[in-house]
Amino acid sequence: MISRARPAPDAPARVRHVAIIMDGNRRWARERNLPSIEGHRVGARVLREVAQSAGRLGIEILTVFAFSEENWKRAPSEVALLMALMADFASSERDALAAAGIRVRVIGRADRLPDATARALDELVAATAGNTGVLLNLAIDYGARTELSDAMRALATDVRNGRLALEAIDDDTLSRYLYTAGLPDPDLLIRTGGELRLSNFLLYQIAYTELWSTPNHWPSFDAHALADAVGAFANRQRRFGS
C-alpha cells in the first residue's frame, strides 16, 4: 500500500501522482479532416509514450481518464470503435508497457465492458502485475459520483453488519472504499484540450490537487508537455488549506 500522507505545508512540491483528463481527441481529428477514431488511435499511442516517460520525472502513479460513464451516451458506432480500440491498446501495447516496468490497473465499472475488451484489459493487468515501475491506472467506465455512491453503499453495509463502527468513519476510512484505495491523492491534475472543468473525475481525491491546463489536444501532448506540467508544479507551494 502506498501512503496517502500529505507532506508538510511548507515542504518543496514533489509530484508522485499525476491524474490526466485526456481531452481533445475528436477535435484534433476534425482539425485534420480525419475520422474521430483516428484521434483516439493517436491518443492511445501518446498514452504509452507518456507513461514510459513518467518514471524519468519521478512520477510513481499515473491515473488517466480513458472512458467516462457518460461516454456510453455517444453514438453506438463510436462507442463500439472505442471499445475495440481499448482492446487493441491492451493487446498491442502490452509487451512495451511490461518491458518498461509499468504496472497497469483498471478502476471504474469495468464489469460493464464488452467481453473482448474486458478480457484484453484483464490480460494486460495480469501481464504487468509483477512490475515495480510507474503504476498506470486506467479509469474506464468511470464516474466520480458513481464511485462515491459505491463507496457509501459498501461503507454503510459494513456498519450495518458490525464490521465498522460508525464513530470510526473519517477521511482515511472513506478513502479505503474508493476505487483508488491504498493510493495517495493526486498531486497534479492535467487537462488537455483547453477546457476548465473536472468532468466528474476523481472529485473526492483532488480536494487539494494542483490543476494545470493546456490548450493542446491530447494527441499533441508528449513527454515534453508532461515535463512542462511537472516543472510548473515544482514552482508551486502547497498549503492544503492552511
pLDDT in tens, 152-185: 999 999 999 999 999 999 999 999 999 999 999 9
* Domain annotation covers residue 3: no
Compute the half-sphere exposure of residue 226: CA atoms within 13 Å on the CB side of its CA.
27
Diameter over CA atoms, the chain: 59
Question: Looking at residue 239, what is its pLDDT?
Answer: 76
The candidate with the shortest Cα–Cα distance to 168, out of 115, 107, 176, is 176
Q: What is the mean pLDDT of residues 190-213?
A: 97
Question: Looking at residue 14, what is its pLDDT?
Answer: 80
What is the percent of the chain with per-residue pLDDT over 70, rounded to a whole number?
94
Provide the annotated active-site residues: 23, 71
For residue 135, is pLDDT > 50?
A: yes
* Domain annotation covers residue 6: no
The sign of the CA dihedral 31, 34, 40, 46 is: negative
* Domain annotation covers residue 62: yes
Residue 1: pLDDT band (50, 70, 90) is very low
Q: What is the mean pLDDT of residues 125-133?
A: 97
Is 190 within 8 Å of 201 (Cβ atoms)? no
Q: DSSP alpha helices (H): ranges in 72-165? A: 76-92, 94-99, 115-128, 144-160
* Domain annotation covers residue 173: yes
* Domain annotation covers residue 137: yes
Vertex 21 angle, CA 56 and 18, to 5°: 35
Distance CA 222, CA 115 (A): 31
pLDDT in tens, 19-57: 999 999 999 999 999 999 999 999 999 999 999 999 999
Residue 63: which CATH number? Answer: 3.40.1180.10
Structural domain boundaries, residue 197: 17-234
What is the percent of the chain with per-residue pLDDT over 90, rounded to a whole number?
90
Question: Looking at residue 203, what is its pLDDT?
Answer: 98
For residue 117, is pLDDT > 90?
A: yes
Is 7 within 8 Å of 14 (Cβ atoms)? yes
For residue 82, is pLDDT > 50?
A: yes
For residue 13, is pLDDT > 80?
A: no
Number of domains comprising the chain: 1
- Residue 137's φ and ψ, nearest 5 degrees, are -95, 115
Q: What is the mean pLDDT of residues 93-109?
A: 95
The candidate with the shortest Cα–Cα distance to 91, out of 43, 38, 134, 128, is 128
* Domain annotation covers residue 160: yes
For residue 6, is pLDDT > 80?
A: no
The candidate with the shortest Cα–Cα distance to 23, out of 224, 190, 218, is 218
Helix (H, G, I), strand (E, B) or coil at 213: strand
Residue 9: pLDDT band (50, 70, 90) is very low
Mean pLDDT of the chain: 93
Q: What is the mean pLDDT of residues 101-128?
A: 96
β strands within the chain, DSSP E: 17-21, 61-68, 103-107, 135-142, 188-191, 210-213
Place of cell 468513519: 169
